[in-house]
């Protein structure tokens, strides 16, 4: 990443040794041949996270999102027992329950524990 201080704001980020997040970052870096550029990979993943957040694809575990996305209508996400599409939760329903349905149909629950949410987010990104 460029050291141009007029264009970039640099951060010093620390991850716990032997943490799930650190292991996921190294696996991600190896997969995408960025083992020598962990800072760039962190910036890339953070950018992707905020893009998904702004589109309403994910919700933060604590506090409010930066910009509240409009409430989308429920959409079919999984096939029922009879092959019929089942309707997913709307964004507002998910916000009230703390549960969200992922694209693969699994229920995702936000934890009030920030570290747990960070570990789960790292696990999610490691799978991509």
Q: What pLDDT digit, counting tens, does each position of 106-128 carry?
A: 666 666 677 777 777 787 777 66
Lowest average pLDDT, out of 35-39, 62-66, 82-86, goes to: 82-86
pLDDT tens for 22-56 read 999 999 999 999 999 999 999 999 999 999 999 98
The mean pLDDT value for 69-95 works out to 48
Let me know: does 119 contact 111? Beta carbons within 8 Å.
Answer: no
Q: What is the 3-state secondary structure (H, E, C) of 70-98?
A: CCCCCCEEEECCCCCEEECCCHHHHHHHC
According to the model, what pLDDT value does residue 85 have?
A: 42
The token pair at 26 is 């190294």
**Considering the chain, what is the average pLDDT of its residues?**
73
| Domain segments of the chain as ranges | 20-69+78-127
Sign of the torsion angle spanned by Cα atoms 44, 48, 50, 51:
positive
């Amino acid at each position: 990443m460029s050291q141009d201080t007029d264009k970039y704001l640099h951060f010093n980020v620390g991850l716990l040794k032997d943490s799930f997040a650190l292991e996921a970052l190294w696996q991600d870096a190896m997969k995408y041949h960025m083992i020598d550029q962990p800072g760039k990979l962190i910036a890339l993943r953070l950018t992707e996270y905020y893009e998904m957040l702004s589109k309403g694809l994910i919700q933060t575990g604590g506090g409010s999102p930066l910009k509240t996305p409009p409430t989308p209508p429920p959409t079919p996400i999984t096939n029922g027992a009879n092959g019929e599409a089942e309707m997913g939760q709307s964004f507002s329903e998910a916000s009230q329950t703390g549960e969200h349905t992922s694209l693969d149909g699994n229920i995702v629950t936000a934890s009030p524990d920030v570290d747990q949410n960070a570990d789960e987010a790292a696990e999610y990104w490691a799978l991509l």
